[in-house]
Structure 1
Amino acid sequence: MRIYILIAILFFTSLGLAQSQANYDESKVPKFTLPDVLTSFSGNPITNQTEWEENRRREILQFFEKQVYGKVPDRLDEYGFKLLEESNDAYGGKARRKQIAITLKKNKKTITYYMLIYLPKGNPTAPVFLGYNFYGNHTVTADPNVAITKAWVKNNEAFGITDNKASESSRGIRTHRWAIEKMLDNGFGLATIYYGEIDPDKNDFSDGVHSLFYRDGQTKPKTNEWGSISAWAFGLSKAMNYLESDVNISKVFVFGHSRLGKAALWAGATDKRFAGVISNNSGCGGAALSRRQFGETVAQINTSFPHWFADSFLKYDNNERTLPVDQHQLLALIAPRPLYIASAEEDKWADPKGEFLSTYYASSVYGLYGRKGITSKEMPKTNAPIQNTVAYHIRTGIHDVMDYDWENYIKWANTFVK
């Protein structure tokens, strides 16, 4: 418990000056009008599924792609998968473990990242939660057979990570964020990837997937090309290729926490193969409305993490009101597939109210498909989930992933896989 308290202290301390300057007063939220998700940029009303799919969805997706997260510049030349290790005796015999290498090739250059999979024994096509982890596959489990990442890792003294290298000392340090046995006991599998193997989380575009696509002399993406969030989403889609074709799993719920919640939402918006999307405390640039300017703002996130978004997003720093879109429209792109947004009561930086309002305003698109979303603008009480096709909860606690979250995600996802 002490190490998790220390981690929380280090996390909030690292936010430093940006947090101290953030607005946490509802009375100081500027008055704003949200762009209507069911009115096109040209002012035409959207009244049915066809108009949504062929007109409104397409133009919203293209705007986010070019002006917010950035466009993937080209197609891969090829990609491949290799089974590195498997066992039918993981988690005391209740799970099958697989470790897969995924290799992407472009312009005679390659990058390889690794996916750890646990499937309930006896059910090789079980539904799966797919999500990135922050420090390496070996950190989500105490399983000694899981390989330690060799990629660049952010230093963390509490985890014993120095010189940007993972080691045995960090094995299992994030087990509390991944309720693997709960998943297995409820018929779900887990597939997870260390996000730094796709693109290291630093403002340096020389050592991740971006570099595969560079033309001669290019050192960073063009203005409207992909930032790291878009790159991470791209990696999730390629992992889905493996899950779909080799393991034959059709029910994959893409999950992410914090910045990786942003990546999960963008992956779900751009790749309709994902059966559902779960965003845990994703905040600014994820589920939270940008126009509220509560907690982290567009200017703060672009300053602190300039590599996450396309450079074209910079024009909206301190200028959210001119955005033709807002994050409720990102959530609407996932319709009619199941969507779960979750907040934490003490996580003001991620603006829980802004996350909730996004789910409410996205729900009108779900209505076009006869799916039930969030029907009231009044936030639910803490620890009182709303579980429709569009689901939401706010729980007690801090910016983290807890058993409470997974218990609700599993219960909710179960209703869509039977």
Structure 2
Amino acid sequence: MKIKLLPALLLAASSGAFAQQQVANRPTVVAGFPVNYNEDSVGTYTLPELLKTTDGKPVATARQWNEKRRPELLRLVEENQFGKMPPRPKDLAFHIFDEGTPAFNGKAIRKQVTVYFTKDTSDHKMNLLIYLPAKASKPTPLLMNISFAAYNQMIEDSGLRVGEIWNKEGKKVKADKPTPFGKLNVEQFIDAGFGFATVYYGDIEPDFKDGLPYGIRKTYLKPGQSEPAANEWGAIAAWGWGLSRAMDYFETDKQIDSKRIALQGASRLGKTVLWAGIHDQRFKMVIASISGEGGAALARRNYGETIRHISDPSRYLYQFAPNYHAWADKVNAMPIDAHMLVALMAPRPLLLQTGSTDYWSDPKGEFLSAIAAAPVYRLFGKTAPSDSTVMPAAGDTSLLMNQLGYYMHEGGHTVLPEDWKMFVRYMQKYL
């Protein structure tokens, strides 16, 4: 069965070579709704209280946050945005088919692992690629990336198994052709003493609105159920669930320091790593790149993409819990906003990376979200922007090294080669 994919699937990439062409992409009408890029037309809004419980009690300590407010907010986000996810599957299994082959002229060792989600080993599996420093004398911390491409397409290594990807017609094909996303330099992580791991998001769940029958979510449908319930997981939660299954593997590998795993993803996969890190506190750090609406950008700001645009059934409602669309026309009444997502990562390190001309994703909305979430980080004694902090210009690294960090490159909806260098710096300090 062929299913036409939405063209926007190819607008962002983990390595960013292609996406840089989208620098000035500012659509004026999307899904029949106008798009605002004028700060004077953003409107006024009041964000939901972070440091007050649902019964009106103030939250003044880290303990009160962890024991009371955080669980409340987690349930609200599950119910209204991403949907509830199932736990670790009982039949989860790992097959290591590449157990430590030398790579990059002996600088690293390579592991390739198939993660089986069910007993059916012919379906519902994820290919996990791992590189570790060859000279490591103790378990290695690593960066876990989730990618728009199969790993053999994004890394120059002739020893990689050729994976499968979903093509533009919604058909699974061999990933044996170059992608427009370019290659990622993995050696920069190895040289800094870190490991690197990656998975292709389509191994977990396809990225198109009629993809439910082909992904992991279909295996959790109850008898008589043809689609997830209103508060059950969308594709973003499914991709995040897959990252937790990678963490399940890391905990079994004695060469990996599973207490020191950072997540990174871009665009819809920036939303994915943010939600995965929130939901699974085993991840020590999250680097959310250009996550925009539905990620770190404030939903109540009428700027660029809005809930109305992203949750329209003709576009990306399948990525969220169906309940999310209920707020499309009444965002100011929604009980959550993006500053709550940011705050839910506290006290663990979170870096928000944006682009100065990525107007559609609202880099200012991500900055304001960090400002609004900062009081929660300060409850834990962590570094974060203050209320008086001025939004940094493109390339300004003054907020980069906070435990709640923010960095905006000069350019659009992409991750640039120099951004990866910033990520390494951040990891060296906090991972």
TM-score, normalization by structure 1:
0.91
Query: What does 1:368-387 correspond to in 2, within 5 Å?
Result: 368-375=379-386, 376-385=388-397, 386=399, 387=401
Aligned equivalents of 2:265, 2:421: Cα separation in 1: 15
SS at match of 2:319: coil
Structure 1, residues 180-224: CA drift from partner, whole Å, max 9, x if none? 121111111111000001000011211101011112232211111
Counterpart in the other structure of 2:201: 195
Post-superposition Cα deviations, 1:133-159, rounded to whole Å, max 9, x if no partner, equal 10211121121221222242446xxxx
Pick aligned residue for 1:306 from 317, 329, 335:
317
Q: Return the match for 1:18 from 16, 20, 30.
A: 30
Deviation at 1:371, TM superposition (A): 0.7
Equivalent residue runs for 1:268-283 within 5 Å: 268-283=277-292
Tell me the amino acid that sits aligned with residue 329 of structure 1: M
Whether the 8 Å CA contact 2:24–2:358 is kept in 1: the answer is no
Structure 2 partner of 1:122: 135
Which residue of structure 1 lines up, in the alignment, with residue 233 of structure 2?
Answer: 226
**Helix, strand or coil for the counterpart of 2:124?**
strand
CA contact (8 A) 2:284 2:349 kept: yes
Instruction: State the match for 2:378 in structure 1.
Output: 367
Residue 95, structure 1, aligned to residue 108, structure 2: yes
Deviation sequence 1:37-92 (CA, Å, 0-9, x none):
11122221100011101111010000001111000146522201110114442112
5+ unaligned residues in a row in structure 1: which ranges?
156-161
User: In structure 2, what is the equivalent of residue 406 of structure 1?
Assistant: 420
Q: CA deviation at 1:105?
A: 2.1
Work out the CA distance in 1 between the residues paired with 2:51 and 2:344.
Answer: 12
**Aligned-partner Cα distance in 1 for 2:126–2:175:** 17
Residue 185 and residue 266 in structure 1: after superposition, are their counterparts in 2 closer, same or farther (change >3 A)? Answer: same
Partner of 1:149: 163
Match of 2:223 in 1: 216
Q: Distance in 1 between matches of 2:147 and 2:121?
A: 28
Name the count of aligned residue pairs: 406
Q: Is the 8 A contact 2:150 2:175 kept in 1?
A: no
Assess, with a 3 A threshold, how the Cα gap between structure 1 residues 9 and 413 changes in structure 2: closer, same or farther: closer
Which of 162, 177, 190 is the aligned partner of 1:169? 177
Distance in 2, matches of 1:220 and 1:98, equals 36
Please give the per-residue CA displacement for 1:207-242, whole angstroms capped at 9, x wherever unaligned.
Answer: 101011112232211111000011111100110111
CA distance in 2, matches of 1:337, 1:230: 20
CA distance in 1, matches of 2:27, 2:222: 36
Give yes or no for contact 1:107–1:212 (8 Å, CA) kept in 2: no
Kindly tell me: are residues 254 and 180 of structure 1, through their superposed partners in 2, closer, same or farther at Cα, counting changes over 3 Å?
A: same
SS in 2 for 1:170: coil
Aligned equivalents of 1:283, 1:196: Cα separation in 2: 21
Segment drifting more, 264-273 vs 4-13: 4-13
After the TM superposition, list the runs of 4 or more consecutive aligned residues in structure 1 that deviate by more than 3 angstroms. Answer: 4-17, 106-110, 173-176
Aligned-partner residue type, residue 169 of structure 1: K
Q: Give the structure with the higher percent helix.
A: 1
Pick aligned residue for 1:267 from 276, 286, 300: 276
Amino acid at match of 1:262: K
Pick 1 or 2: higher relative contact order, CA cutoff 8 A, min separation 6.
Answer: 2
What secondary structure, in the 3-state scheme, does the structure 1 residue paired with 2:376 have? helix
Q: Which runs of 5+ in 2 are unaligned?
A: 1-15
Identity of aligned residues (%): 34
Q: CA RMSD in A?
A: 2.4
Contact 1:90/1:97 (8 A) holds in 2: yes
| Equivalent-residue separation in structure 2 for 1:413 and 1:300 (angstroms) | 34
Which SS does the other structure have where 2:190 is aligned?
helix
Return the offset for 1:36: 2.1
